[in-house]
Structures are given as C-alpha cells and as structure tokens.
Chain A
Amino acid sequence: MAEDRVWSASAEVTWCPGCGNFGILAALRQALAAAGLEPWQVVVVGGIGQSGKVAQYVGANFLQGLHGRALPHAIGVKLADPELKVIAVGGDGDMYSEGGNHLLHAFRRNPDIVCLVHNNGVYGLTKGQIAPTSGFGFATKNRPMGALVPAFNPLAAGLAMGGSFIARGFAGDMKHLARLIGEALNHKGLGFIDILQPCVTYNRVNTFDWYKERVYDLALEAHNPADADAARARALEWPAEGEVKQIPIGVFYSSRREAYEACGLVERRTANAERRSEGKGRGREVRTANAEPSDGGRGGQRRGADPVSVAKKAIGEFE
C-alpha cells in the first residue's frame, strides 16, 4: 500500500506551525498503515477543537460531530457495524470536560474502539482558556489569575473506572506514540491514550523541551501493565499540585476484560446486526476473512430477519 498517498487528507491542514498535533497525526497514520488497514475500513470520529480536526486529516471515513460527544458517536458506529475500526479523537476539553461523563462510562462499558486525547493543558480553538488538565495556577492572557483548581488526572480516573487499556503518549516521540496506537488498535476493548501535546501558541509552560526533560518510557522500567496497583502509583506520579518531576509514558495498564460487544447478549445482538450493502463493493476482504456469505441485507439488519414478521409475532403478546 502506498501509505503516503492513501493515508492523506484531501483537506487543508490548518494547525499552527510546530503544533504538537502534527506528531499525533503522523503517528496515527503510521499505526493505521502498519496495522494493514485500508482507509475505508476505518472511521475516525472527531470532537470539536484543534484536535478533532484530525478526523478530517487522517484520510479515513469520518464523523466530525460535536464538542464532547465523540465517544457516544463512536460507540454507536461500532455497535451498528462491528467490522469497522473506530477511533474517537478529541482534546482535553472534549474528553475530560464537556464529555467527561461519556468517558467515565466508556471505561466501564469497554467498547472495542480506540480513544485518543490530545492533552495540551489549554484551549486552543477558543484562544487560550484554561483546560481541565491545566496545572494548578497555570495562567494565560485570558486567565491572568490562573487555574484555581487542581488538574484532572485522566489515567487515575480511567483506572478507577475499570478501564482495560490505559496509556499515555507524547507528541514529541512519534515512534513511541505510533507503537502505542498500534497496541490500542489491537486491544479488544477501549484503547485509551492520553497524549501529551505541546501547544506552541497558548501553553508556554508545558513545551516540547519541558516534556522532554521529564518523560520516561515505562517499557524500559520494571513496570508490569497487568499490575493495577503499580499502574495507579505511576498514574499519580504527576501530582495534582506542585512540581512535576517526572512523567511516565507508555502502557500503564492493560487487561483482558471482555469488550462490550463481546459479552453475553450483546455479542449475539451485534452479530445479528451485521450489515452489508445491497451494493457489491462493501467489505469484501473483511467478509472473506470471516467466511461469511455476502448476500443481501442492509443497514444493521440481521440476516433473514423480516421485521414485519417479528412485529406480527409480537402482536400475539397482546391477545
């Protein structure tokens, strides 16, 4: 596959020169190509913010929706068509503030999707307000008194909510990040990655250099991602207040908890909901892999199920 041609955007990229988002976009494309996925097999769901624009730039199918709502959209896509690889992308404002409730419940629900959060500790699109991950006291031109509450710790929250894959990446280490995204793509369940993303315009504290001095790779330490207690301790290394000495990146925690679509009733339901188009062009490779016939059906309709006859049968209940 000519990866550069296929995984490229038809839209103009409008980020500031030097933005951390470029590293994330490149890492994501690299991971998708390495996973052997074709662009049409992938849906990227973007939130609203500079981060969410990734959806438009990757070169896959996309649903660019609403601020904070990328996760519900992504879960909906996955439930309707489990064959699609679904990636929700948003910023710290998207996922930790506006859509915080969705994230907490997504950890519990554990859908088989990837969730990437561009965490730059500041609001870019709206020009420099504080974010839920802004450090305590972090000030901008628009918030001269600084952040008055401690920062949100997404990794600790994810671990507390039973998240099955909790990782942190750094936009300044593209290779490492691409590998992490690859692991999240392979993970069965919610592959969550908090990505440290320097904002060159509005965040003069958490710069590329600031991060480079502090990040270290968990994979090079004696860290066992199956150990939840160890993961929690690592997640708390970045204190809610006070000086930040070192920042672990890599996979904090990974478990084999079953993905939402794969447990009990849901499994059968999604199997029933397998969708195929009347068209001849849909999902041939995937279908062959599953050794499924590719006849008939449409939009989330289960094979052979005639909705009218189901309804007719159900009427019997009212006799």
Chain B
Amino acid sequence: MDLIVAGHAGQGLQVISRTLAWMLVRAGYYVFLSQDVMSRIRGGHNFARLRVGTEPVYADGDAAQVLVALDPALVERHIPHLAPDAVVVTDAAGTLPEGVNAVRLPFADLAREPVMVNAVAVGASLALVGLDPAGLGEIFSGQFRGKGEEVVRRNVAAAEAGFRAVVEGGKGCCPPKLAGGVPGERVLISGAEALALGAIAAGVRVVTGYPMSPATPIVEYCFRHAQEAGLIVEQTEDEVSAANLAIGAAFAGARSMVCTAGGGFCLMNEALSLAGMTETPLVLCVGMRPGPATGMATRTEQADLLFSIYAGHGEFPRAVLTPADAEQAFHAAQDAFRIAEKYQTPVIILFDQFMADALWTVERSRLRSGVASPSTLVPDSAAIKPYSYRRYEVTESGVSPMVLPGTAQQLVYADSDEHTEEGHIAESAAIRLLMVNKRNAKLAGIRRELAVPKVEAEVKAEAEVKARVKVEVKVEAEGEEKAETLVFCFGSSRGVVSEALKRLRAKGLNAAMVHLNHIWPFPVDAVAGLVGKEKRALTVEQNYSGQLAQLLLQECGVRAAGTVRRFDGRQFTVAEVEAGLEEMMR
C-alpha cells in the first residue's frame, strides 16, 4: 500500500509521516518513507510518500491508495500519483476537483488548537488503513520530547478525534485495510542517521561540518549523542576549517569524520589532498544534491561520482563508497573507518540526498552487528629506539607503522611537502619516486578490502524473517543465468532498479542488477568478469552525462549499450526505470 501526506512547510508533515511510519513498523510492516521538500521554512508544497509492505520495501510506489492533504488546494497536483480507487483525507473547507473519493474532516474543529491539525490527520490516516491508535502516546512522547506530558496528551486526544471522525463518518469510502504484518525487531531510520550511527559504532571521536543539505542531519545526530558517545562535534567557521580541523585531530590519533555536500566538498579538496599526502586517516561524508553551484538544495542527484573519484590535486589512493540505503550506510561508515585507518588515507562516503533523507525499515540485528575499527597503531612504541621513528617508512604494502605525536621519546613528522621517510621536506628525484610508489602501493590493499560486486536479480531481503518463508526472496538462478543484460547502478537507485527488473521479468524480459556499493577503486576484474563477452551492460543513474557508464568504459573497456538517466532533482520512479530499460531491451 502507498500513502502520500501533503501540506505546506511548517504544518508538521514530518510528525504525520514519521508517526504513521512508526505505527506501521510496530504493527509489523516494512515501511519506506521519502520526502519531497522545498528549500523553504514556511509555506510551499511539501509531501512525503510512504510505501508499506509485508516484505521489505526500498522504493517509492507510483499509485497511492491514500492521500492525506492538509490543504484541499494541494489535492489536484497529486491526482497523477493516485490509484483510481484512492481515498483522499482532507479539510472540510475548500473545494476539491471532480470525482475525488474524499473523506472531509473539519480539521480545525477536531484539533481544537491549530498546532494539533497534524495529530488529527494521523488519527484519520490510522483509521483509513485499519490500525489501532493505541500506542500513539508512546510515539508522540518520543516526538515531542521535552515538551511535557500535557502536550503529548492533547496530541493523542486530537488523533483520537480524527480516528473517530473517520470511523463514524467515513465508512464506505475506505481503501482495503492493511493485513499480514508480523511484528519483529525492526527500526525506522533515515540514511543520514544510519551513517552517523555507523560512525559512532566504528568509534568516531571527532565530527566536523558546516551546515549544508544533505549532510546536516548527520552532524545534528552526532551533536545529539555527543555526550553519551564521547564525541567532539565541531561546527567550524567554514568547510575548509572543518576538513582541516578533522585532519589535525586525526593526526593526533582521533578517528575523525567531516560531513558536507558537493559544494562544501569543493572547498575541502586541498585538505583531501593533504590527507593523501600526509597519509592521515580521514572519513568524508559527501552528500550529492543537484549542482552546479548551489543548484537545488533539497533535491537529489548522483552527479558527483567522477568528481569524488578525482577530487584533490595530485595522485593519492582513496576509497569511495556509495551506499544504497540505511543499512548499507551504517556499514559504509564502518568500512570507511576500517579502510581509512588501515591504509592511512582518506575514504569518501558518497551518498545521494534521497538515500540520506528517506526513512528505511531495517532489521535491528543488522545495525547491531557494528564493530569498533581495530587499531592499527604500533603495539609497543617503547620498543622503538628513542628518536628514531620514521612516519613514512617504506614498506611493501605502502602502509607505514603508525605512532602518535605525544609518544615519549619519539617525534612524529607529517609533511605536506614531498618528504623523506622521516617526514622532512625533500626535493630529490629518488625520494620522490620512492614516496609516489609507496603511497600508491596502498591501492592494491584497499582494493582487497572492498566488496566484490555481485549480480542481483532482486534486492534480497536480508531480513531475518524465517517465520515467513514467503519473504525469503532468493536470487533466482534461472533469472541470473539467462540474464543477458546487466543493469549497473550505484547509491539509492538499487531499490528502484530491483523493482523495475522484477516487473520486466514478469513481462518476459530478463535482466539482472549489479549495484556498486564500493565503487572506487573500481572493481575492474569483477565487473569485467561479470559482463564477459556476451552480456550487455546498461546503467541507471541520476545524472546528465552517464558517469557510471563512463567509468565502465574507462576502467573495464565495457561500452554501456544504454543508460537510463534522470537529472531533474527527483528520485527515479520504478515505472520510469521500467519504461527506460524496456525500451532498450526490446
């Protein structure tokens, strides 16, 4: 079932959509919640989409059965998003387009206070989908933390009023009620929150940033948990300072992470290069929104892929991770710290705004599998002869033993200049060769750390849902072997592509998906092996120039037979990807 909640900025849409989503998750459904938000604080037209299923859901639907519109004037523009039998819940005042199946409620009267309108809408929505409002109090307590019990109580009362109004007056126009939810150990979490949580679990100590969508929620989450997690969170004067402060902290031994968006990342490029040269472990969370320049602040895109791979002057090793969803974001943060620390180099977590803002239902056990990154420091620095430590000692792997400044009777030199093994400025050609080779030798090791891309016919439910065998979606061996077309994607496109391929298979068109979650160093051998000589490669990506297709050609000599692209700032819909791929496959 799909639901849409629409209103103006400042009307509390987040409360409605999140509360509904939480109630649904508690009732045992998988929920996927995405937001379409304008870059303004009040007014405008914002909406949230909820996809609800008894199996994991990873993408928006295309035909909603329920629309909750706080203002009837917003209904018309959503008609294309509605199923033919959809029910619209909206205010009693105002006119609606012809033929809309509506439940009209006097929002203001039911709410008693204007700020409670959203609670009325929550109650009404619960009645429509057939969920009991019991338990709302607990969720409102979480939402209105700090506002007191009285506020929670009044909101619950308003929600109950909305619920009763639908039950008593709205009969006969209700959509099919939800059924089949099996409560489990699941949480509803945004991609940004999952990233922050993954970093905390990995043992991050210093988090820096300068506010910019879509990275802001990561820093805010860290601020909220600074005390309990022992974090130092710094909002610096600018992005340049954010990145460099994190480098200073990492040099002194703290696991450090800097959060920004594409524009801020531009300002951090020199620092990125410094981290490469000084071999400082640094994790950068870079959110993609449509550019160039300010572009569209609250929208999504995947156009900074090539930029992230090549950002920073000079040549140095790095890893770029492109998580698909909250669960992958959590693990991306863990992988990033592990790789950054082990190889003493920057790691970029490149995420799209859609992934960060959407809320995903994740099995709790999957988030509990986090591990603090192992330390890669020299175990016994006292065993090193006094004042003889060499920060850039040449080794076969390119990784030098690490000792931190402040170690008794050892000095640590980190130099942005080309340098000797000790870390002193050097101009000799021989030393230059030695150091360039040393730094770049780390790429081979980093490559071994990354996930090997696999063919996936569908997104597998990684859920532990043994009780319900039906949900255990397996990659069909048939589908995999017979698939002559491989569809490559990265970031949040995974869920959409997976569903589109499922629909295509139903039409007899066989294709399999390869989602690149660890995209750089590019998994050349694995991708070349998958495509081989017979298979056809297509890409689905949210940019104008087909950056993933460019990488396939450049890295593997694979020329994509076609690309499905979208670059209007909105997430792909399943129908669009389905249509695009179908056209190329027929």
Chain A residues within CB distance 8 Å of chain B:
10-11, 38-41, 43, 45, 48, 53, 56, 59-66, 69, 71-81, 83-84, 101-102, 104-105, 265-266, 268-270, 272-273, 275, 277-285, 298-302, 305-308, 310-315, 317-319
Contact = CB atoms under 8 A, between A and B. Distances in A.
A60 B252 CA distance: 14
Interface in B209-266: 225-232, 234, 236-238, 240-242, 244-256
Contacts of A104: 237
Nearest to B362: A318
B390 to A, nearest CB: 11
B466 to A, nearest CB: 22
Contacts of A75: 245, 248
Nearest to B423: A62
Given A39-B411, A65-B244, A83-B406, A308 B249 contact: no
Contacts of A310: 200-201, 225, 228-230
A301 B341 CA distance: 14
Contacts of A312: 201, 367-368, 370
A74 B378 CA distance: 24
Interface stretch (B185-193, B298-306, B316-324, B520-528): B185-193
B230 A279 contact: no
B193 A318 contact: yes
B248 A73 contact: yes
B407 interface: yes
A154 to B, nearest CB: 17
A105 to B, nearest CB: 4
Contact of A299 (B226, B244, B254, B364): B254
Nearest to B409: A40
Contacts of A62: 413-415, 423
B197 A300 contact: no
Interface stretch (B379-387, B453-461, B477-485, B558-566): B379-387
15 contacts: A40-B408, A56-B425, A62-B415, A65-B247, A65-B278, A77-B248, A80-B250, A273-B230, A279-B382, A282-B404, A300-B255, A310-B200, A311-B197, A315-B364, A318-B188
B410 interface: yes
B252 A76 contact: yes
Contacts of B408: 38, 40, 281-285
Nearest to B384: A281
B205 interface: yes
Contacts of A77: 248-249, 251-252, 405
Contacts of A39: 411
B379 A84 contact: no
A289 B228 CA distance: 27
Nearest to B422: A10
A218 to B, nearest CB: 30
A-B complex: 9 closest residue pairs judged by Cβ atoms: A76-B248, A300-B254, A279-B381, A311-B201, A300-B205, A299-B253, A281-B382, A302-B230, A72-B244
Nearest to A101: B237
A72 B236 contact: yes
A312 B240 CA distance: 33
Given A311-B201, A315-B367, A81 B187 contact: no
B405 A61 contact: yes
Interface string B12-41: 000000000000000000000000000000
Given A10-B422, A62-B414, A73-B247, A282 B407 contact: yes
A74 B228 contact: no
Given A83-B406, A311-B197, A64 B414 contact: yes
A269 B232 contact: yes
B270 interface: yes
A87 B379 CA distance: 28
Contacts of B407: 40, 277, 279, 281-283
Contacts of A65: 244, 247-248, 274, 278, 414, 416
Contact of B248 (A72, A265, A301, A302): A72
A43 B413 CA distance: 9
Contact of B381 (A79, A280, A308): A280
Interface in B385-426: 403-417, 422-425
A84 B230 CA distance: 19
A314 B197 CA distance: 8
B371 interface: yes
Contacts of A307: 200-204, 229, 370, 372
Contacts of B232: 79-80, 266, 269-270, 273, 300
A90 B246 CA distance: 19
B347 interface: no
Contacts of A318: 187-189, 193
Contacts of A275: 252-254, 404, 406
A315 B227 contact: no
B417 A319 contact: no
B375 interface: yes
Contacts of A73: 244-245, 247-248, 251
A319 B367 CA distance: 13
Contacts of A319: 187
